[in-house]
Amino acid sequence: MTPVSGVAAVGECMIELSGAAADNWRMGFAGDTFNQIWALRALLPAAQSADYVTAFGDDPFSDRQRAFMAEHAIGTAASPVIPGARPGLYAITLEGHERSFTYWRADAAARSLADCRDALAASLMGRALLCFSGITLAILEAPARATLLAVLEAAREGGSRIAFDPNWRPRLWPSPQVARDAIAQALALTDIALPTFPDEAALFGDTSPADTIARLSRAGVAEIVVKDGAGLAHVAGAGITRAIPAVPVPSPVDTTGAGDAFNGGYLAARRAGHTPAEAAQRAHRVAAAVVQHHGALVPFAILRTAFEGALTPAK
């Protein structure tokens, strides 16, 4: 099968409550892979399709989710609608610019996204690029997780490239070992890995980004970008590793979604033909734009301006 010129991300889009002031909350929609497809949609040419693959409820909030995606030219492919289900919810609280989250997601519709293999395959097969994360894996029961990985593997055999962010969240997993096993299975079919170093250190005991790169290289991943918050991004591929500095932000507002936006910026740049080092520079700028705004989603125009800014020579 020849991949179409389009991308898709798989996971959970939640209701986001943010920007609390005197108990006034702003409602939006977000989630790690949704934040990523948001950035990809902003940065890719309009002719390239961008779909979010999940499962929806049949409640008014799910209706609003689908309408919001449609308004921003993000499709939903063959994502099922689950009678009686509803989206998960999380609230962001801030201490300075650092954030913490409170979740209500145990019965979210997205947990059923891989219950029907045929629908999932219809959504994923034939894509040029497919994105998923450790959170995508964590919200699924073991049989559904196996279905997702099998469909992704089939899509890869058909020509799709697979991007994966391990994005470990301890509370979503029954144990660290279950997470390690599932992530190892995902890495076996990954072309581009986008881990965050503190997560890798906590779950795998890596002592440096170089350890993470070595471990993922042994797993067979050809292109690796190790993020480290406001620090360096370590880009590795074809036997070469480069450290790309982040863009300084003197007064960050909210770091929610910055790593996800980095992923989207990096993948958009690679889709446009930029080298990994150039892609990481563009991704840093996109992430810097996100941390200067409240919430995970930043208007497309802001992301595009950041993405197209001047590059400095990569060392």
Active site residues: 260
Q: How far is CA 83 from the centre of its chain?
A: 27
Helix (H, G, I), strand (E, B) or coil at 251: coil
Secondary structure (DSSP) of 31-89: -HHHHHHHHHHHHS-TTSEEEEE--EESSHHHHHHHHHHHHTT-B-TT--EETT-B--E
Evaluate whether 277 touches 263 at the Cβ level (below 8 Å).
Answer: no
Q: Under 8 Å CB-to-CB from 93, ≥6 apart: which residues?
A: 20, 99, 100, 101, 102
Which two tokens mark 237?
């591929």
| Structure letter (DSSP) for residue 190 | -
Helix (H) or strand (E) run with residue 142 in it: helix 142-157
CA-wise closest residue to 253 among 14, 17, 19: 19
**Residue 181 in contact with residue 138, Cβ under 8 Å?**
no
Identify residue 128 by its one-letter amino acid code. Answer: A
